[in-house]
Amino acid sequence: MKKKQFKAESQKLLDMMINSIYTHKEIFLREIISNSSDAIDKLCYTAMNAGDTSVSRSDRMIHVHPDKENRTLTVSDNGIGMDKDDLENNLGIIARSGSLNFKKDAGQSEDMDIIGQFGVGFYSAFMVADEVTVVTRKYGSDEAWMWTSSGADGYTIEPTAKDGVGTDIIIKIKADGEEENYSEYLESYHIKNLIRKYSDYIRYPIRLDVEKSRKVDVPDSDEPKYETYTELETVNSMIPLWQRNKDEVTDEELNEFYKDKFFDMKDPAHVIRIDVDGSISYKALLFIPSATPMGYYTKEYQKGLELYSSGVMIMERCEDLIPEHFRFVKGVVDSRDLSLNISRELLQHNRQLRTIASNIEKKIRQELKKLQDNDREKYEKFWQSFGLQLKYGIVNEYGAHRETLKDLLMYHSSRENKLQSLKEYVDLMPEDQKYIYFAVGESVPMLENLPQTETVKDKGYSVLYMTDEVDEFVVNMLGEYEGKQFKSVNDKDLGIEDEEDKKDTELKEEENKVMLDYLRDCLDGKVSAVRLSHKLKSHPVCLTADGEVSLEMEKYFSTIPGDGPDIKAQRVLELNPTHKAFYMLLDAWQLDKDRCARLGELLYDQALLIAGLKVDNPARLTELMWEMM
Ligand code: ADP
């Protein structure tokens, strides 16, 4: 049977394509300028192969000219141009890409960076235009042609005159609609922004007629008068920093680039350059800010890297390129190996992106480790700004990244009185120390005075002071480091107690059980138990918690706004059986039970204060203090 060819309603197809491929109308300019750049690439390549030395690369450029009066935006290039056949084939057939064919014929070449491939970009101009006119003269020809179309109803081609080879694309900008402001595509400042945004790294100068105004002196008049004039400006940077050789780029330039692009007032703390040549080649220029950006730890902050394909911006913020735990990193990624979809707004294969992303993640990790090892001062500064983020990184996604991030952690160590990595802590542990001891609280000074830490410190062991709410979750998630388990100083069994002491205390607790239970009952549900502790040295009391929820977790949950779960720790009041205060309690228990209860109340309040918690009734506390005094 004879196969029949599909027919298509080309008008409808064009309409559909124009209005449904692209999410942003403004990218039409990117597409038209990319075509011009391709045309210049082609001319240079063709002339070189023909041995024609009259065409020099340095004379090539793209000229953008807005004309408000006639509502036209003209993009001109002195590239290869088109003859009548080219116009028929390339602009008359939708989805036919002359550029892709050219690239196929020419093969890979260092000097060529052809962007076009789908054969649809040109028509994106109809998103903003009533009519598009193309005036063009091909390299090697004296004839010039004019192609005109107002979109769906077809096109005309007729001979015309044109000086020099190249192409003018004259876009007749639509009238403003109710929702759409098309006139802004005639404003030079807006066009300039669009060029900077999407086409900054086109390799040829893009020169724009920029509208300016100046004051003119009018004799015998106080009224200032202004006149407008246009000035030709080159608006694109052409060669991106990341494409230049490492040693050709100064720190100054990198800093300026960062501040300009990412709206930061301060220089970046650290710059990471990546240049990968492999199955997927890419270059990346990454920055770690020197301070926590405003609103960084909120939902409003958006992560992502800028994504370029051969110097043309594809995505302003590609979230998939950077993992959550390094979301503070800013920068750009440029690869010519991405398979883009037809609108060039998205990628076809996420596999490529994933490869790049995992590569970038690893590189950032290595850089941070290097900083931690070789430039501690800089790393500590980084840690102040983004350490919290890394802690979240350990806890989030059910700890998926804990193994790769744990070495980057830093905590204040009591013995060395400075920040230490877990590795450093473990390396400095005395031989008989079995656990990694830690205490959680509001601040280092508060933790330094925490009674529960005394026994551990007296033993010559260091305690890690943890001051972020997420720290306990981090410790739970890690469980151990290099085979050493974490142990809270609040733990009933610290693993260092003198067995005699322990027995003594247990015996005493047994003997005084009735009084301890009485105190618990007097505290009226505030604590789940009153116990004796062998951990305390010079302090009379401390507050700890039984069960899974610690005091710090309770504090954390209480700060979550809204009707969150009312999660409470099971508080335990621990008394030091060798302290004077305990003997006072015993005396009172014999002579005056009420006084004993009030003493218990006072000790509980003291324990609260030491733990950095609020006392329930400060007036009552002062009253009790006066009474006892
Ligand atoms: P693509 O750029 O993806 O190939 P377009 O629809 O943008 O698709 O363009 C179709 C074809 O028209 C191009 O491949 C190219 O051959 C031709 N073309 C477009 N603009 C120009 C120009 N300024 N100079 C020369 N040829 C052009």
Give the nearest ligand 1 atom to 96 CA: 10
pLDDT per residue over 597-607, tens digit each?
999 999 999 99
DSSP per-residue string spanning 188-212: HHHHHHHHHHHSTT-SS-EEEEEEE
pLDDT score, position 442: 87
Residue 7's pLDDT band (cuts 50, 70, 90): low
Neighbours of 272 (CB within 10 A): 18
DSSP at 178: S
CB 346 within 8 A of CB 340: yes
CA of 45 to the centre of ligand 1 (A): 16
Give the percent of the chain with pLDDT over 90.
65
CA of 130 to the centre of ligand 1 (A): 19
- pLDDT of 563 > 70? The answer is no
pLDDT score, position 502: 84
User: For residue 426, which of 440, 443, 407, 439 has the smallest C-alpha distance?
Assistant: 407
pLDDT per residue over 472-531, tens digit each?
999 999 999 999 999 999 887 888 877 888 888 899 999 999 999 999 999 988 999 999
pLDDT per residue over 416-426, tens digit each?
999 999 999 99
CB 536 within 8 A of CB 574: yes
Residue 37 beta carbon below 6 angstroms from any ligand 1 atom: no
Q: Which two tokens stand for residue 96?
A: 């036919």
Q: Give, for ligand 1, the residue of 32, 61, 102, 122 to mutate: max count of ligand atoms closer than 8 Å to Cβ.
A: 122
Distance CA 248, CA 557 (A): 52
Location of structure tokens 């056949």: 85
Residue 79 beta carbon below 6 angstroms from any ligand 1 atom: yes
pLDDT score, position 536: 86
- pLDDT of 387 > 70? The answer is yes
CA of 143 to the centre of ligand 1 (A): 19
> Which residue's CA lies nearest to atom 10 of ligand 1?
119
Residue 490 beta carbon below 6 angstroms from any ligand 1 atom: no
Residue 149 beta carbon below 6 angstroms from any ligand 1 atom: no
pTM of full prediction above 0.85: no
Task: Find the mean pLDDT for residues 428-450.
Answer: 93
Residues 6+ apart with CB under 8 A from 135: 144, 145, 146, 160, 162, 167, 168, 170
Residue 545 beta carbon below 6 angstroms from any ligand 1 atom: no
pLDDT score, position 591: 92
Residue 32 beta carbon below 6 angstroms from any ligand 1 atom: no
Residue 133 beta carbon below 6 angstroms from any ligand 1 atom: no
Q: Which two tokens stand for residue 427?
A: 């390396």
pLDDT score, position 110: 62
CB 558 within 8 A of CB 519: no
pLDDT score, position 349: 63
CA of 99 to the centre of ligand 1 (A): 6
pLDDT per residue over 75-115, tens digit each?
999 999 999 999 999 988 776 787 888 888 777 666 667 77
Distance CA 147, CA 387 (A): 60
pLDDT score, position 4: 74
pLDDT score, position 220: 82
∠ CA 276-281-283, rounded to 5°: 60
- pLDDT of 565 > 70? The answer is no
Topology, domain 497-629: Four Helix Bundle (Hemerythrin (Met), subunit A) (1.20.120)
Domain with CATH 3.40.50.11260 in the chain: 409-496
CA of 12 to the centre of ligand 1 (A): 21
Give the nearest ligand 1 atom to 169 CA: 23
Dihedral sign from CA coordinates of 289, 295, 296, 299: negative
Task: Find the mean pLDDT for residues 9-18.
Answer: 72
- pLDDT of 535 > 90? The answer is no
Location of structure tokens 């398979």: 339
Residue 83 beta carbon below 6 angstroms from any ligand 1 atom: no
- The CATH H-level (homologous superfamily) assignment of domain 10-234 is Histidine kinase-like ATPase, C-terminal domain (3.30.565.10)
Residue 166 beta carbon below 6 angstroms from any ligand 1 atom: no
Residues 6+ apart with CB under 8 A from 440: 447, 466, 467, 471, 472, 488, 550, 552
Domain with CATH 1.20.120.790 in the chain: 497-629
Task: Find the mean pLDDT for residues 270-293.
Answer: 94
CB 174 within 8 A of CB 128: yes
Q: Give, for ligand 1, the residue of 13, 27, 38, 136 to mutate: max count of ligand atoms closer than 8 Å to Cβ.
A: 38
DSSP per-residue string spanning 425-474: HHHTS-TT--SEEEEE-S-HHHHHT-GGGHHHHHTT--EEEE-STTHHHH
CB 287 within 8 A of CB 258: yes
- pLDDT of 46 > 90? The answer is yes
Give the nearest ligand 1 atom to 95 CA: 6
Residue 80 beta carbon below 6 angstroms from any ligand 1 atom: yes
Q: With 0-12 CB in 10 A as exposed, 13-18 as middle and 19+ as buried, what is 319?
A: middle
- pLDDT of 292 > 90? The answer is yes
Give the nearest ligand 1 atom to 115 CA: 2
Q: Give, for ligand 1, the residue of 89, 96, 97 to mutate: max count of ligand atoms closer than 8 Å to Cβ.
A: 97
Domain with CATH 3.30.230.80 in the chain: 241-384
Question: What's the first-to-final CA gap in the chain, in angstroms?
Answer: 111
Residue 27 beta carbon below 6 angstroms from any ligand 1 atom: no
CA of 115 to the centre of ligand 1 (A): 10
Torsion on CA atoms 322, 327, 331, 333, rounded to nearest 10: 0
CATH number at 409-496? 3.40.50.11260
Task: Find the mean pLDDT for residues 6-23.
Answer: 72
Q: Average pLDDT over the chain, rounded to whole? A: 90
> Which residue's CA lies nearest to atom 20 of ligand 1?
35
Give the percent of the chain with pLDDT over 70.
96
- pLDDT of 276 > 80? The answer is yes
Task: Find the mean pLDDT for residues 298-306.
Answer: 92
Residue 168 beta carbon below 6 angstroms from any ligand 1 atom: no
Location of structure tokens 């989805």: 95
pLDDT per residue over 157-203, tens digit each?
999 999 999 999 999 999 998 888 999 999 999 999 999 999 999 99
Lowest mean pLDDT among 22-26, 48-52, 266-270: 22-26
Location of structure tokens 């063709």: 46
Residue 289 beta carbon below 6 angstroms from any ligand 1 atom: no
Location of structure tokens 């192409």: 167
CATH 3.30.230.80 fits 241-384, yes or no: yes
CB 410 within 8 A of CB 383: yes
pLDDT score, position 581: 93
pLDDT per residue over 308-338, tens digit each?
988 888 889 999 999 999 999 999 999 988 8
CA of 38 to the centre of ligand 1 (A): 8
Q: Give, for ligand 1, the residue of 99, 100, 199, 310 to mutate: max count of ligand atoms closer than 8 Å to Cβ.
A: 99
Location of structure tokens 């110097």: 311
Strand order of the β-sheet with 305-309 is: 270-276, 282-288, 330-334, 305-309, 312-318
CA of 249 to the centre of ligand 1 (A): 34
- pLDDT of 235 > 90? The answer is yes
pLDDT score, position 531: 94
- pLDDT of 245 > 90? The answer is no
> Which residue's CA lies nearest to atom 23 of ligand 1?
36
